[in-house]
Structure 1
Amino acid sequence: MDERRLADLLDRVASGTLSVDLALEDLRDLPHEHLSDATLDHHRELRTGQAEAVFAPGKTPEQVRDAAAALAARASGAVFVTKAEPEQFHALLEAIPSATYHLRSRLVVAKRAEVATKLGTACVVSAGTADLPVADEAAEAADALGLGVARISDVGVAGIHRVLERRAEMEAADVAVVVAGMDGALPSVVAGLISRPVVAVPTSVGYGASFDGLAALLTMLNACAPGVSVVNIDNGFGAALVAHRIVRNRG
């Protein structure tokens, strides 16, 4: 439940078009709801502007289904399940037939934000083809949140001319989400080329000394170019949420 829905509920009670009993029924589960194995935070959307997400690993298909269905029933904006397996998605479809699943990123969009016009644009830039699952997660989540999404793929620093010639496209967006594994150098390069905020996403792509993305993470945290924020390894979803907040809260 967000502020608009809560205000509408109170207005209807004040005007007499909604009874106090029905309003109490709608508010009964605020701020949280107890399921058999979870306690859902329905006030998170009211506090932060984004409903709680379901992290699928370690959960049974039924647990994923029940949590996502309860969140989607009360959220006014987007609801996501991250890192889901096909069997978890198939169980969720029983409760939410309109849900979509993106196999490569393993992202489930249980509910999309309803926006009349796009809030702004995120440009999702990825270094290599192997980084696409994480870049897809960022792009798909940003789209479901109501952002326009531009994609630039396979422009890693080993062929620096590839990213240099795409500068205008990146500058045209409101925020750039830059995804890279290996040495993780691409976000710093992009931040040195454009005036937009850069959200850097390290991936676990690379050989032994990449330490499953730790090398890329440390490179991004030590970026020479200013204006770079960094999320956790393989966290395309988190990057999309950062991009959404940047665009949503701009002056």
Structure 2
Amino acid sequence: MIPRHLAQLFEALAAGEMTPEKAAQALESHQGFAEAGGFAHVDLHRRSRCGFPEVVFGLGKTGDQIEAILKTLIEHGQGCLVTRVDPRIADRLTAAFPGGAYNPVARTFRRPGPEAEEPKLGRVTVVTAGTSDLPVAEEARVTAEAWNCDVDLLADVGVAGIHRLLSRLDRLTDADALVVAAGMEGALPSVVGGLSSCPVIAVPTSIGYGASFQGLAALLGMLNSCSSNVVVVNIDAGFNGGYVAGLIAHRAGLARASAADTPS
């Protein structure tokens, strides 16, 4: 903490303008992290560094652990996003944190922070090859929405019926970034990349029969895409796809807003 800020904190505490609890919170905030329950050090500066608060990976964590981490984030004025949430834990989180929402398809729990009141910036479209890819796509959608982007979902437009995609091209060209989730052979991102001028974040899913190798075939197909605007994240990593697309779209939205405010 900067000495000047530390002196101001002590003066406010001595004058009775701040409680010891608030002073402790201020110190924690300035050191950049806060301990939660003796098992986690919650990153409080993630949003100021990276534009997005720390996200909780729910798989393998107990309800007590997740609740303690979320309480710490909320106490410091931050929004919360938990991925891979067990349905039994989701009921507990929904009861403990009013204003939060559980998405059973995405397996996410989100409680928006103050940034949700700001104007939406950026446009993301999430595309799936099939209905079976929806859990991964929904995780991407929730994550991009947490970036405060407008998010559109275009489902079940895979290459086996390419006319379905071609009839919806306007929903691709309006986006700042696209997320494309596909299993089987993973061909859809290449097609989408060849029809759009924005970054395409390809997410291979573990959907398919034996030779798909739980998404490995789709991953390798996407890595070998001949569309130059396609980049690839890990298998079933809807969060990563939504995060990167949201980051790109948010920055594009900021640039538009700045240009609109600049006198010609």
State TM-score, norm by structure 2: 0.83
Counterpart secondary structure, 1:177: strand
Report how many aligned residue pairs link the two structures: 237
Instruction: Assess, with a 3 A threshold, how the Cα gap between structure 1 residues 243 and 75 changes in structure 2: closer, same or farther.
Output: farther
**1:200-215 alignment, distance < 5 Å:** 200-215=202-217
2:194 alignment partner in structure 1: 192
Instruction: Assess, with a 3 A threshold, how the Cα gap between structure 1 residues 19 and 211 changes in structure 2: closer, same or farther.
Output: same
Amino acid at match of 2:96: A
**1:28-177 alignment, distance < 5 Å:** 28-29=27-28, 30-35=31-36, 36-76=38-78, 78-112=79-113, 113-177=115-179
State TM-score, norm by structure 1: 0.87
Counterpart secondary structure, 1:249: helix
Instruction: Indicate the structure (1 or 2) with the bigger Cα radius of gyration.
Output: 2
Contact preservation (8 Å) 2:148, 2:250? no
Amino acid at match of 1:55: F
Contact preservation (8 Å) 2:133, 2:182? yes
TM-align CA RMSD: 2.1
Q: How far apart, in 2, do the equivalents of 1:75 and 1:158 lie?
A: 47
% identical equivalent positions: 43
C-alpha displacement at 1:28, in angstroms?
Answer: 1.7
Contact preservation (8 Å) 1:69, 1:92? no
C-alpha displacement at 1:239, in angstroms?
Answer: 1.2
Q: How far apart, in 2, do the equivalents of 1:163 and 1:192 lie?
A: 12
1:204-232 deviation per Cα after TM superposition (whole angstroms, max 9, x unaligned): 10111111111111111111001112111
Stretches of structure 1 lacking an aligned partner (at least 5 in a row): 1-5
C-alpha displacement at 1:111, in angstroms?
Answer: 2.5
Contact preservation (8 Å) 1:99, 1:111? yes
Q: How far apart, in 2, do the equivalents of 1:81 and 1:228 lie?
A: 27
C-alpha displacement at 1:91, in angstroms?
Answer: 2.5
Q: How far apart, in 2, do the equivalents of 1:220 and 1:44 lie?
A: 30
Q: Give 1:232's match in structure 2, choosing from 234, 253, 264.
A: 234
1:85-123 deviation per Cα after TM superposition (whole angstroms, max 9, x unaligned): 122122223431221101111011022442432102111
Stretches of structure 2 lacking an aligned partner (at least 5 in a row): 256-264
1:57-79 deviation per Cα after TM superposition (whole angstroms, max 9, x unaligned): 11111111111221232244x42
